[in-house]
């Protein structure tokens, strides 16, 4: 049953990529990429999941002694946090470019800036 999370993550990535590669409007591309990033983050977290275990917080319910048997893998959790932040950074950059594109070319259509080719 625990593969559902990962499967949905993969499906989200595919949907996000499809949107990003077929949409013309840059804002839609950015949103699609965000969806894809969410999918990736979901996969990241799903990899760390172990059946029947709890969050890696050592408090009264999970004393230090039984930590090894009770908690799930904390490393993907740490990685996903960094991945989210980096996803945000890149999305912010894309938004800036979207703004500049509109200011420069008066359109949000990505296929309009094709003057650098061949």
Partner 1 sequence: MVSPMYIIAAGLGGAFLLGLLPNKWRTIPYAITLAILGIMAWIAGSWLYAFAVQGAASVEIFTAGTQPPFAINFRVGLAEASLALLTTLVGLHSALYMKDTLFKQGRQAMAVLLIFIMALCGVIFTRDVFNLFVFMELVVIATAGLVLLSADRRALGAGIKYLIVSQLVSILLLVGIIFLYHATGTLNIDDMAAAQVNLLQGGAMAFFLLFVAVLAELKPFPANGWGLDIYESAHPAFSAIFSTATGGATIYAADKMLQIGGAEWLPAATAIGIVTFVAANIFALVQNNDRRLLGYSSVAQIGLLLTVAGQRDILGDAYYYVAGGILLAHAVSKAGLFWLSGLVAQRELTDWAALRSQPVLVFAFATFLALLVGLPPFPGFYAKWDLAHHLAAEGRLWLLGLILFGALVEAAYLFRWFGYVIKREARENGLAWQSVKADVAFSAVIVAWLLAYLWGHLSGHGNLLHAVPLLFALLFLPLDWLPAKLKNVLAISGLLYWFYLNYPSYDPLQLIFAAVMLPGGALILLASFQTQKRRVGFYPAAMLMFAGLAMLIVAKSSFDFFAAWELLTVGSYFLILRGKHSEPHALSYLVFSLGGAFLILAGFAIAAQGAPDFKLAALAQVAQPYAPWVFAMLAIGFMTKTAAVGVHIWLPGAHAEAETDVSPMVSGILLKAGLFGLFMLLITMGKQQLYGVELTYVMLWIGAISALIGNLMAIFQEDAKRLLAYSSIGQMGYAVFGLALMNHLGWLMALMFVINHYIYKSMLFLSVGGIAKRTGTRLMYRMGGLITLMPLSFIAVMIGIIAMSGVPPLSGFGGRWIFYNAIMTAEYRLPMVIVFLAGPIAFLYLFRLIHTIFLGQLKDEMRKIKEAPFWIVLPQMIFVVALMVFALVPGLALRKVDLYMTQFFAGNGHLNWEGLTISSDFGYWNPVAIMVIIGVIFMTLFLWLLFVNRKAQPVKQFNIVFSGERPFRPETTHFAWNFFAPYRKALGFLTQPLVTIFWETVSELLHSAADILRRFYTGNGQTYAIHLLGFVIIVYMLWMGGKP
Partner 2 sequence: MIRNFAVFLLLLGLGAIFLHLLDGYVPASELNQTARYYAEHTAQDLGAANIVTAIIVTYRGLDTLGEVTVLFLASTIIGMVLAQGSKRQRALQRKLPASGELLTTGSRLLVPLILLFGAYVFVNGHLTPGGGFQGGAIIASAALLVLLTDPLKRFSHKLIALVESISGLVFVGVGVLGMLLAGGFLDNRILPTGEFGALFSAGAIPLIYSFVGLKVGAEFTSMLTNLAETEKS
The residues that touch partner 2, with contacts defined as CB under 8 A, are: 2-3, 6-7, 10, 13-14, 17-18, 21-22, 47, 49-51, 55-59, 64, 67-69, 71, 73-75, 77-79, 81-82, 84-86, 88-89, 92-93, 95-96, 99-100, 103
List the one residue from 1, 51, 69, 115 that touches partner 1 (CB under 8 A). 115
Under a CB-based contact definition with an 8 Å cutoff, are residues 105 and 20 in contact? no
Instruction: Rule CB under 8 A: say whether 42 interacts with partner 1.
Output: no
Q: What is the dihedral of CA 29, 8, 82, 50, to 10 degrees?
A: 180
Q: At what angle do helices 26-48 and 74-105 cross, to 10 degrees?
A: 180
The residue behind tokens 């094709």 is 114
Q: CA 23, CA 89: separation in Å to the nearest integer?
A: 22
Q: Which residues bind partner 1 (CB under 8 A)?
A: 13, 17, 20-22, 26, 29, 33, 36-37, 40, 43-44, 47, 75-76, 79, 82-83, 86-87, 89-90, 93-94, 97, 100-101, 104, 110-111, 113-118
């Amino acid at each position: 049953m625990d593969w559902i999370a990962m499967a949905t993550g993969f499906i989200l990535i595919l949907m996000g990529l499809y949107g990003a590669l077929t949409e013309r409007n840059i804002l839609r591309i950015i949103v699609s990429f965000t969806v894809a990033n969410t999918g990736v983050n979901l996969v990241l977290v799903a990899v760390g999941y172990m059946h029947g275990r709890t969050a890696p917080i050592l408090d009264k319910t999970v004393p230090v002694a039984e930590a090894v048997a009770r908690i799930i893998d904390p490393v993907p959790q740490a990685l996903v946090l960094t991945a989210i932040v980096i996803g945000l950074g890149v999305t912010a950059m894309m938004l800036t470019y979207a703004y500049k594109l509109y200011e420069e070319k008066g359109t949000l259509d990505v296929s309009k800036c094709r003057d650098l080719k061949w």
